[in-house]
Amino acid sequence: MGVRRRLLLISNSTLHGGSYLEHCHDQIRAFLGEQVKRVLFIPYALHDRDSYAKTARKKFESLGYGLDSIHESSNPIEAVRKSEAIFIGGGNTFRLLKALYDNGLITEIRKRVLEDGIPYIGSSAGTNVATISINTTNDMPIVFPPSLMALELVPFNINPHFLDPDGSSKHMGETREQRISQYHEELNTPPVLGLREGSLLLVEGDKATLLGRTGARLFMRGKAPTEHIPGADFSSLLTDS
């Protein structure tokens, strides 16, 4: 029997010119459907969790879903166990992963998503932690989680907010592509999917499809990067799971 996972992994929460999750609200509504009534929000990636939960709640209520924020629960583990769907928002990936470890939620979320099959939505940092590790995040390590290993809901890594090189820029630091290449200089490193802002990956069991409007770039160790447009099938990236 295949893995039951259902994931919607979003590159960014806000697209230039739009409001919070506006660019992907149709995909969120289609993903959650009518069976889900309430979503458990995990706001650990930002410091002001109350304000973050208020923003997320307003958006999900406008889509027809109730939202409970895990930071308001006296028992985070029990909140995960009772959840109908999970949404982890963006912010600092190191802060987010440390809080998931500190609250004992890594195993619990994996069980709910991979064994029980509840929907998981991640955005930015929430997308990073859905992968094998946070090695390919763009964030500064402002805190130190016990490990860089993440939820491992998919057997590859993602680089959200992926940026193409700007030929007119005088900035002399490494491009995003060069940094991912440096990651792949290490042995046994998994594929990295560079999700541009405005793109998202839908995973249903052993099928993965690129959605959105901007496309993605796939990096595999020892191979030239490849370009992919919305609608691309990335199911081959799931075969190691």
Active site residues: 124, 139, 161
Tokens, residue 201: 């990956």
Which two tokens mark 9? 């992994």
Q: How far is CA 228 from CA 196, 211, 234, in A?
A: 11, 11, 9
Structure letter (DSSP) for residue 72: G
Is residue 213 within 8 Å of 179, Cβ to Cβ? no
Written as one string, the DSSP assignment of 108-129 is HHHIIIIIS--EEEEETHHHHT
Q: Hunting for tokens 């958006």 — which residue is that?
A: 59
Counting Cα atoms < 13 Å in the Cβ hemisphere of 34 gives 0
Strand partners, 149: 133
194: part of which helix (H) or strand (E)? strand 192-195
